[in-house]
Amino acid sequence: MKHSRRMWTGIAAIAATSALILSGCSSAETAPAPAASEGGLTPVKLQLQWFTQAQFAGYYAALDQGYFEDEGLEVEIIEGGVDIVPQTVLADDQVDFAIAWVPKALASIEAGAGITDIGQIFQRSGTLQVSFADKDITSAADLEGKKVGNWGFGNEFELFAGITESGLDPAADVTLVQQNFDMSALLAGDIDAAQAMTYNEYAQVLETVNPATGELYTADDFNVINWNDEGTAMLQDAIWANTERLESDEAYQETAVKFLKAAIKGWVFARDNPEDAAAIVVSTGSELGASHQLWQTNEINKLIWPSPDGIGMIDEGLWAQTVEVAKSAKNLEGSTVITTDPPETAYTNEWVEKALAELEEEGVDVNGDDFSPIEVTLNEGGK
């Protein structure tokens, strides 16, 4: 199974690719305009940040249900991988749009990438710190004196900010342990609290047999620290566009609105039809099991819905919180995600507002005020 390596390749990886970003970016004036396909559709390439899984269910649903085609787009979804940094691919003008976490993209912007967040799909962070219930770890303050696992590579900043906010020193008051991209160290008792995503690694422990009972672990066996509750959450999956093209190319602007409309309809489909959305992802050949994919779809929906201002709208308060944590939280090497405020071009609601207005006219529920998650039964190993 593929796990959370899809996330940040890390500050070091971003630094290593800075030269590529700076030297490889084409200007909007010189980038060749995409030729229309034989069916008159506009070709569009979307770069994901990891392999196919329900983290991206809305985009696969939009493709499967014909929403992109309805908007006159022929969309190619390109899987990510260990060595692929989506925002670099976008800044290098190899794709039209990309999916990336906001802090990761902000680091690339500071390194010279011309990219803009045009659709903040995830409204909440999906990062947790998971521990066995008998450890009595329910808040960041409870991590004092504990062995705390984290992935590093830039994934640690919500954790470090939470520890610091609770009055503890990450370098002195906890024992930090480099954690693999799985939950084996937690299950083996080597660490007291493990980093996990709600939609992936947390499911892994619930898909595991408890040797004491012979049955799968349940949520009652664990405690979780949710960084949304602790106030140090950072915005994650967003749709990013090429800044120069967005500012000067009217055709690209129109394509951006059309792409947002179709993608949003895909996420609405995933909200209203989670079983079908998960099945669509499974049918694409994902390596993750069916029950894991359904769990993932359901948990992703919780990160998106409800969206009081409309799905894709960037909340200024949450953006400011993300920037503040990115500037102030230091890891053990003393590094922060970014050193200065990002430029005003780092995000805009202009194009998603247009998309939402058109969708509302079409009768699409873009807020999901009545959303309620389903109950998902996990099978051993996520099968």
pLDDT 10s digits, 122-146: 999 999 999 999 999 999 999 999 9
What tens digit of pLDDT does each residue of 168-216 get?
999 999 999 999 989 999 999 999 999 999 999 999 999 999 999 999 9
Confidence of residue 154 (pLDDT cuts 50, 70, 90): confident
Q: Are the C-beta atoms of 239 and 47 separated by less than 8 Å?
A: no
pLDDT of residue 334: 87
Residue written as token pair 């992703």: 300
Confidence of residue 31 (pLDDT cuts 50, 70, 90): very low
Using the 8-state DSSP alphabet, how is residue 373 labeled?
A: P
pLDDT of residue 152: 85
pLDDT higher than 80, residue 251: yes
d(CA 167, CA 351): 41
* Lowest-confidence segment of 50-59, 61-70, 152-161, 242-251 by average pLDDT: 152-161
pLDDT of residue 322: 97
* Residue in 325, 303, 12, 329 with CA at minimum distance from that of residue 153: 12
Confidence of residue 35 (pLDDT cuts 50, 70, 90): low
Using the 8-state DSSP alphabet, how is residue 353 labeled?
A: H
Cα–Cα distances (Å) from 294 to 279, 284, 289, 346, in that order, read 8, 14, 9, 33
Mean pLDDT for 301-321 is: 97
Average pLDDT over the chain, rounded to whole? Answer: 91
Q: What percent of the chain has pLDDT over 90?
A: 84
**Identity of residue 276:** D
Count Cβ atoms below 10 Å from residue 16 Cβ, excluding itself. 12
pLDDT of residue 27: 32
pLDDT higher than 90, residue 58: yes
pLDDT higher than 50, residue 364: yes
Q: Are the C-beta atoms of 275 and 368 separated by less than 8 Å?
A: no
In DSSP terms, 241 is beta-bridged to 97, 116
Using the 8-state DSSP alphabet, how is residue 141 labeled?
A: G
* Lowest-confidence segment of 57-71, 147-161, 272-286 by average pLDDT: 147-161
Q: Measure CA 254 to chain center.
A: 25
Using the 8-state DSSP alphabet, how is residue 27 labeled?
A: P
Q: Measure CA 161 to chain center.
A: 19
pLDDT of residue 298: 98
Confidence of residue 282 (pLDDT cuts 50, 70, 90): very high
Mean pLDDT for 64-86 is: 95
> Which residues touch 21 (CB under 8 Å, ≥6 apart)?
88, 91, 92, 108, 111, 112, 113
pLDDT higher than 70, residue 70: yes
| 3-class DSSP state of 296 | helix
pLDDT of residue 155: 86
| 3-class DSSP state of 174 | coil
pLDDT higher than 70, residue 13: no
pLDDT higher than 50, residue 164: yes
